[in-house]
Chains A and B, each alone.
Chain A
Amino acid sequence: MTNDQGHLMIKTALHAGRIMIENGSEVARVEDTIQRIALNAGYPDSKVYVTITGIMMSISGEENAQIEPVKSRSIDLEKITQVNDLSRHFAAHKISLKQFDDRLTHLDQHPRYFPLWLQLISAGLVSGTLEVVFRGNYPDFLVSCLIGLIGWGVFYGMSQLARVRFLSEFLAATVIGILAILAVRFHLGTNADDIIIGSVMPLVPGVPLTNAVRDILAGDLVSGIARGMEALMSAVAIGSGIAMILQAM
């Protein structure tokens, strides 16, 4: 590589872009961030092509373009925010390009999640509150909380155990369906439909759905449709889990 500074810039920008896409950012934001990093590093005419499965970038007038594949996708809005903050610091010349890259590596290797117990309680509260908001069924509030909590636990455990996409949603939905129907049979709840509607809410693919719409509206048709398929697959996984149980029991 003839130009070390340019090389480091592309490496940092691609790294930032990959972290953002992996954690559920929309494509237009990634493109914008990468171009701003290039601009602030002194390369005003960079060329970027971003999709949700890979990023390509080159500097005009230089020979080498680089490719960064994006292999895994999950949801972690904290990381997107931190990359955004780092990019702001870099724009304000508070950190150098080298520091920027080091901090990105650190960020990538040390994810900061909420503790599991807090996630479980949150999943329970999402289920219970939304069950009441949607259906107005106060007596089933606690049962929905409990079943939603268990459903999220299954989802979380399966995603940690086997990294098979959509399987964790399917199994979690199945467990929710079984528990809801059993709860009504044993008179712990009054209406299985309401309990299921509430308990499934934490699994709803909110980020891919919203991003699919935003990408398509912003003109990133390839990524938008790919993301829409992702959301649709999650929804189908949840729906078929529930449908299977409803037919069986």
Chain B
Amino acid sequence: MNFWHTVAAITWKDTISEMRTKEIVSSVLVFTLLVIVIFNFSFGATQQTMKVVAPGILWVTFAFAGVLSLNRLFVPEKEQDCLEGLMVCPVSREAIYTGKMLGSLIFMLVVEVIALPIFTLLFNLPVLSLQIVTITVLATFGFVVVGTLFSAVAINTKAREMVLPILFFPIISPVIISAVKATEISLAGGSWSSLVPWLPMIAAFDAIFFVVSFLIFSYVIEE
């Protein structure tokens, strides 16, 4: 099997097990909806305020949802000792990383595909545009490239649910800043060219951290 076949096999394994248990997607989705509703309570929900705070709400929600789903990424592997199984397989650690990362990306995107229309509906804002979908896909990729690495770190620590956000949030702060700014511009009716400093920023983050995480993942799960 070549590299991408292995990656596809690992991603497919995660997807099948998720389709059977629906553990991550269902719980993260409910969480996402709850956060959106709670934000609605805290900001009074007039149309005027919503325009101002909506980009922030959207990205705080997705960042929290990301942590929640990334926290679960290695839990089944750990509990059933599947990670050892994966590691004795003749596959490279890089393939394990890429496979898990793509699996996580799929789960996050499924949640977001459902959450975005609901967001549009509840907040009466056009967040379901091509621009915002592009921003979401790029930013989510940024979340999962570092998130997968840190999730594998957090799984071997005490208080693992606490460790992931502490590692994750400072590192992804450029993605959050860029995504919020880009969403703001897009909601205000900005053109593609007005998104320029922000979209390339997220794309650069994605590319850089994909390479770095890909290279150092083998040091995380070596035992």
- The answer on A and B forming one complex is no
B-side residues, CB < 8 A to A, are none
Residues in chain A within 8 A of chain B (CB atoms): none
